[in-house]
Structure 1
Amino acid sequence: METEQKEIEKEDMEEQWEKADEVKRLPPWTKQITVRGVIASIVIGSMYSVIAMKLNLTAGLTPHLNISAALLGFVFIRTWTKLLQRTGFATTPFTCQENTMIQTCSVACYSIAVGGGFGSYLLGLNRKTYEQAGIDTEGNSPTSIKDPGLGWMIGFLFLVCFVGLFVLIPLRKVMIIDYRLTYPSGTATAVLINGLHSQDDKLAKKQVRGFMKYFSMSLFWGFFQWFYSGKDECGFSQFPSFGLQAWKQTFYFNFSMTYVGAGMICSHLVNLSLLLGAVLSWGLMWPLIGNLKGEWFPKNLPDSSMKSLNGYKVFISVSLILGDGLYNFVKVVLFSITSIYGRLKHQHQRQRQNLKIDVDGQSKAIDDLKEDKVFIRENIPLWIGVTGYIVFAIICVTVLPIMFPQLKWYFVLVAYIMAPSLAFCNAYGTGLTDINMAYNYGKVALFMLAALSGKENGVVAALAGCGIIKSIASVSCNLMQDFKTSYFTMASPRAMFLSQAIGTAIGCITAPLSFFLFYRAFDVGNPKGEYKAPYALIYRNMAILGVEGVAALPQHCLQLCYSFFAFAVVVNMVKDLCPPKIGRWMPLPMCMAVPFLVGAYFAIDMCLGTLVVFLWHKLDTNKAASMVPAVASGLICGEGLWILPASILALAKISPPICMKFLAS
């Protein structure tokens, strides 16, 4: 009797599965990539490249813009189709698969600006960073200079970034379907896209209007501010909001809508960690250490010298970054190994459990089956991944040592032999924790190459080798995030792979162009200017530290570095081991480290953004949940778009007509 009942239930379920497949007829993968989608991706990706480059060269901190890119793609195509319909042209329906393609392509494009090294390891090779690191520093060789060039930067990015597209293709099904890794950012993006295409037009129109309203306000505000910024330390960006004494210690609100919008996207913990780091460094430590001039470091040294106050700023921030990075690196690797072992051990048990579907979970199982079927049906041949990786690896082993003579070919070869396992570990760990550890894998390569290459070649070899490992780990992880998004939106993995390739190719061109827009128009790398590029100096000093050891540190700096390294480890341990009531209040050391070198002003801007979100949720949670991404995207994109005309005016030597400045009475 029980056997017959089970057979009946099985037949009913199979019939429902067939009906579900009949209901959901998806367009083929060739139809999911459209001309209008590619155009929208180029526009969004290029604009976000400029925005990400500004954030890279000012604070060195860029929030995740995946959800914002998905929303902007929806706004772009909806506006496009409405305009065409009003003029009498017929348009094809806008599907969530096409929206996913736009999000994937545009994110792949701007990700090159985020992780391409323009604010860190590539810029760390230029002469200005070499001089800031100390000409008299033994490990800082005069031969370790390679100034930015459009040609070699584009070539380097095409070589190192495209390899990452092929490395994890064979493991696509294992990580998405077999292991069911969550990839929280990719899942959240899919939820937003599915929601946008299933909700009523009333809410969609509100989001579009909200985006356009705040986009216009932010664009006009950027234009208005420009008139009052005639010289250095002029304008609203230098407004002494808390008094002149606080302004001297970088505590002021600089009216940047980009940072306010970024603060609305980032979590409350990120923003409060930034503020804590700013108070600890610029509010307490730097004034106290500055008063010890003549005792801890010579009086005649300028503050910008690495043997002076600047050395403490750089190396203490490095120790926080390394402590946080090493702890999370070990944690994620151990967590991944334990998880893989557990999955392999209980694999057969899981397979049996997956067949036991109760009535309440029946619809969920049907959805899972549909998503699995779509994901597996659009198979990417194994030979594409293997052939692509081998071909690009051979080209890189041949070309990169010519581009960087200090980087020996056998180092590059070893890097590409190790890269697949590192990329898997990073993508697996990100799927579990949503923490992309690519920068930490890059730092490991940096220290190893610096130590192996010696004093003459160590800095260049370390910075270039860091870029190889970081790019492969980052691009492959981003692709797996997009595969997770496509899994839930039932977009074709083939379309996602091709979209990622198109976006990467566009990004390898737009990112260097965006960089040179700033590099030619503004004083990039000036520690007293707006575009400090803090991570360029940090990465170069990490390479010098790998070459020279602790001899590069100023007096008593080593003890402070040990303390902050231990602080980062202990804070992370408390967060993981203590009850949530205590752990959730622990700051993020990686975020605390950023204002140590940059200043406090951007942390105040971002905290204002988090305050707006907090109050909005208190007043109207439902409206805040739907409108915060639209408002934040509008604030970021409006001021970000103003950067283009501002850069053109700067290149044309057209200065603002007014200088607004505040002086003591």
Structure 2
Amino acid sequence: MAMEQSIAPRRTPSSSPELTLRAVFSGLLIGCLLCFTNLYFGLQTGWISMMSLQSALLGYLLSLIFFKSPMSPQENVVLQTTAVATGTMPLAAGFVGIIPALSLLNRERDGVDPIRVGWIAGVGWSCAVAFFGVVLASPLRKQVIIKEKLVFPSGTATAQLISVLHRIPPPTTTSVAVRSSNITQRRRYYEPLSADDVIPDQSENAGSSPELRSGLEQERNELVQAGWRSLGWSFATSGTMTLAAYFFPLLNAIPLFGTHLAQNWLWVFSPSLSYVGQGIIMGFSTTLSMNLGMIVGWGILSPVAKHSGWAPGPVSSTTDGARGWILWVALAVMMAESFISLVPVAADLFRSLRRPKSPAFTTLGQQEFGNEDEDPETPDRLVPLKWITWGAGASISIGTILVWIVFGHEGIKPWATVIGFLLGALLSLLGVRALGETDLNPVSGVGKISQLFFALIQPRNVVANIIAGGVAEAGAQQAGDLMQDIKTGHLLGASPRAQFQGQLVGSAVSIFVTVTAYSLYTRAYPIPGPSFPAPTAYVWLSLARLLRDGSLPPKCGEFMVLGGALAAVVAVLKIRATSRGVWYAKWIPSGLIEYVYNQRRRDKDDQSIRLVIVASGFVLGEGVVSIVGLLLRTLGIGAASCWGCLPHICSCT
């Protein structure tokens, strides 16, 4: 039977509203919990998580419990988009990095007094940087998602999870039905759902037999009950351990290898299920890298620097101790890997700009399915161009004014702030492309590039250097993380306009939640301090100081060059292995662990969902109960016993 010439399918608008009150409210509720959790972990480790998978999963479970009808997949997309925009503000606004860094300034060394941002100033600063990245993400959508079809692994994984939860065809296996025959053709890699795809009615199961409806309802109830059980015990276990560690601080720093190594070398063990959950969420590649860094930094470099006299002070000191010494090596490793990861992206972008546009250059998929560069969305579902234009202009102009009001003319010149925004927009192009290909957003490299640039245009100004880097990083980080959500929406047929509006609402609410949470933490704990060392703050400040006076600790430069070169080689090997699938890919450390793990695991949807639920419970358990601990400390209720605590390590000493 002859087959008709098929064209790129156009998605029809959803029959039900997507930007609903229940979706936005649930997204804000989950996002506020994630905001506190990310701030808590960010101040401890410098790391935060998007938690998009967890947001979609929790939103689905909440909808089945508290609402009469389950959410549609598109509502779930808007929910997790709102939650991510709310939960990632601690990093976007710099409350785990540049804000603590400004409080570490020293008049003698930096030429300025410490800058401690209060609640009102924090709101002003957050308003200055909260919306620029949201506006940046929308115009990049057509290029990186529609035309280039970048994978955005986290966004794609979230779309797959939502499809499993809502019992719809997964985006990776959706087929396009050809009406003139019984033949179906597989759509190209990671294509969105369309009007031709069979999507069962989740609310009424229209056209289904009573037996099928009963079976689906029973299956859904079993999933919900199992999900809540897994979430409940993992949340309760993690929360109980957190509360016990608050009243008995020894549990936060157990001298596993003896008191001498614990007190003098900071070799302690912190049993935390939340880190287990974060490890599950981050994956083998990141967690293995962190563990290797821990062993090399604190097990090798720290003793070498101490015994060689290069870091004569206490190991915990960031000025003349091993902590500060190895920080420089870590900075070199981070910058080298970030720059290397951006090089192929920049090269591809440059080649694409120079490549002639010719109708003759069409891919096999375009020959089969027509012009796939055409946006499948109708104009009424897209973000209007005037919204983007006015939004970009308003965010830059108002943001510049707010930065000047908060930090003053001596902190950073208004024209320099504008350059920071523009530089952030330029670097976000590279960051978004790198994220779409590798699932890693090199925001640390973006911030450091900005710091290097501003060392030239505003030399010897530490405050301007840090703030300008924060402005650029905020735009790149938000644009990248929100682009993952846009990819999820594209695969599941959600309205880009509804997602954009959800992002704006989430970012606006998160301003006040983040600033309030940070204010509570600074009142209850010294930041940086034993409980919240804020390692990212030292990275920002160290580079700014280096660019100001050019001084390094003894022998640190040589190890920085060595560490940076090694990181660059590993980064090149990773890029080559990923792009070409060469034989040694699995022998790169992270690839080795993933290879062994993938040989043993069973790819079952229920097991994957259960793992995500347990990880979410571990993370949220400690994050939520940490709020209880924060309130107890604010009320003056301290530890029940400081038995076994070591000086300058436990929070009660």
TM-score (normalised: structure 1): 0.81
Tell me the residue number matched to 1:108. Answer: 85
Tell me the residue number matched to 2:241. Answer: 221
- The Cα offsets for residues 372-402 of structure 1, whole Å up to 9 and x where unpaired, read as 5346551221111111111222223333233
Q: Which amino acid aligns with 2:434?
A: G
1:321 is displaced (CA, Å) by 1.3
Structure 1 residue corresponding to 2:95, chosen from 118, 126, 140: 118
CA separation of 1:569 and 1:619: change in aligned 2, threshold 3 A: closer
**Whole-angstrom distance in 2 between the partners of 1:151 and 1:110:** 20
Q: Secondary structure at the match of 1:649?
A: helix
**Whole-angstrom distance in 1 between the partners of 2:485 and 2:359:** 26
Tell me the residue number matched to 2:228. Answer: 208
Structure 2 residue corresponding to 1:443, chosen from 426, 443, 448: 448
Q: Does 1:538 align with 2:539?
A: yes
Structure 1's consecutive aligned runs of 4 or more residues displaced over 6 angstroms after TM superposition are 613-617
Structure 2 residue corresponding to 1:130, chosen from 105, 110, 120: 105
Q: Check whether the contact 1:164–1:474 (CA below 8 A) recurs between aligned residues.
A: yes
Structure 2 residue corresponding to 1:264, chosen from 256, 280, 285: 280
CA separation of 1:268 and 1:94: change in aligned 2, threshold 3 A: same
- The Cα offsets for residues 212-267 of structure 1, whole Å up to 9 and x where unpaired, read as 221122222322333322xxxx2x12223344455444444312121111011122
Q: Does 1:428 align with 2:428?
A: no
Q: Does 1:516 align with 2:528?
A: no
CA separation of 1:49 and 1:547: change in aligned 2, threshold 3 A: same
**Whole-angstrom distance in 1 between the partners of 2:598 and 2:266:** 28
CA separation of 1:441 and 1:218: change in aligned 2, threshold 3 A: same
Q: Secondary structure at the match of 1:9?
A: coil
1:50 is displaced (CA, Å) by 1.0
Q: Check whether the contact 2:94–2:474 (CA below 8 A) recurs between aligned residues.
A: no
Q: Secondary structure at the match of 2:112?
A: coil
Q: Secondary structure at the match of 2:526?
A: coil
CA separation of 1:102 and 1:350: change in aligned 2, threshold 3 A: same
Q: Check whether the contact 1:185–1:434 (CA below 8 A) recurs between aligned residues.
A: yes
RMSD over aligned Cα atoms: 3.1
**Whole-angstrom distance in 2 between the partners of 1:165 and 1:17:** 28
Tell me the residue number matched to 2:252. Answer: 237
**Whole-angstrom distance in 2 between the partners of 1:253 and 1:517:** 27
The worse-fitting range, judged by mean Cα deviation, of 645-654 and 509-518 is 509-518
CA separation of 1:375 and 1:206: change in aligned 2, threshold 3 A: farther
Q: Check whether the contact 1:426–1:436 (CA below 8 A) recurs between aligned residues.
A: yes
Tell me the residue number matched to 2:112. Answer: 142
Q: Which amino acid aligns with 1:568?
A: A
Structure 1: gaps (5+ residues): 82-90, 358-364, 589-609
Q: Secondary structure at the match of 2:105?
A: helix
The worse-fitting range, judged by mean Cα deviation, of 536-545 and 244-253 is 244-253
Structure 2 residue corresponding to 1:99, chosen from 76, 87, 90: 76
Tell me the residue number matched to 2:331. Answer: 318
Which runs of structure 2 are paired with 1:7-406 in the superposition (5 Å)?
9-10=4-5, 26-27=14-15, 31-81=17-67, 91-126=68-103, 129-131=104-106, 136-137=108-109, 140-143=110-113, 145-198=114-167, 200-201=219-220, 202-229=222-249, 234=250, 236-245=251-260, 247-248=262-263, 249-293=265-309, 296=310, 304=317, 306-338=319-351, 345=357, 348-350=360-362, 353-356=365-368, 373-374=376-377, 378-404=381-407, 405=409, 406=411
Q: Which amino acid aligns with 2:255?
A: P
Q: Does 1:586 align with 2:588?
A: yes
Q: Which amino acid aligns with 2:626?
A: I
CA separation of 1:328 and 1:534: change in aligned 2, threshold 3 A: same
Structure 1 residue corresponding to 2:476, chosen from 473, 477, 492: 473
**Whole-angstrom distance in 2 between the partners of 1:219 and 1:616:** 31
Q: Check whether the contact 2:302–2:315 (CA below 8 A) recurs between aligned residues.
A: no
Tell me the residue number matched to 1:464. Answer: 467
The worse-fitting range, judged by mean Cα deviation, of 66-75 and 209-218 is 209-218
Q: Check whether the contact 2:44–2:531 (CA below 8 A) recurs between aligned residues.
A: yes
Aligned residues: 587
Q: Does 1:573 align with 2:572?
A: yes
Q: Secondary structure at the match of 1:454?
A: coil
Q: Check whether the contact 1:575–1:582 (CA below 8 A) recurs between aligned residues.
A: no
**Whole-angstrom distance in 2 between the partners of 1:298 and 1:245:** 17
Q: Secondary structure at the match of 1:650?
A: helix
Higher relative contact order (CA 8 A, sep 6+): 1
Tell me the residue number matched to 1:487. Answer: 490
Q: Check whether the contact 2:63–2:70 (CA below 8 A) recurs between aligned residues.
A: no
Q: Which has the higher helix share?
A: 1
**Whole-angstrom distance in 2 between the partners of 1:136 and 1:388:** 41
Tell me the residue number matched to 2:175. Answer: none
Q: Which amino acid aligns with 2:252?
A: S
**Whole-angstrom distance in 2 between the partners of 1:297 and 1:244:** 21
1:93 is displaced (CA, Å) by 3.9
1:581 is displaced (CA, Å) by 4.4
**Whole-angstrom distance in 2 between the partners of 1:570 and 1:537:** 26
CA separation of 1:499 and 1:525: change in aligned 2, threshold 3 A: same
Q: Does 1:625 align with 2:641?
A: no
CA separation of 1:410 and 1:61: change in aligned 2, threshold 3 A: same
Q: Check whether the contact 2:466–2:541 (CA below 8 A) recurs between aligned residues.
A: yes
CA separation of 1:209 and 1:9: change in aligned 2, threshold 3 A: same
1:171 is displaced (CA, Å) by 4.1
Q: Secondary structure at the match of 1:464?
A: helix
**Whole-angstrom distance in 1 between the partners of 2:632 and 2:323:** 33
**Whole-angstrom distance in 2 between the partners of 1:329 and 1:540:** 23
1:326 is displaced (CA, Å) by 1.6
Q: Check whether the contact 2:152–2:484 (CA below 8 A) recurs between aligned residues.
A: yes
CA separation of 1:429 and 1:347: change in aligned 2, threshold 3 A: farther
Q: Check whether the contact 1:181–1:431 (CA below 8 A) recurs between aligned residues.
A: yes
1:444 is displaced (CA, Å) by 1.1
- Percent sequence identity is 24
**Whole-angstrom distance in 2 between the partners of 1:260 and 1:142:** 41
**Whole-angstrom distance in 2 between the partners of 1:505 and 1:204:** 31
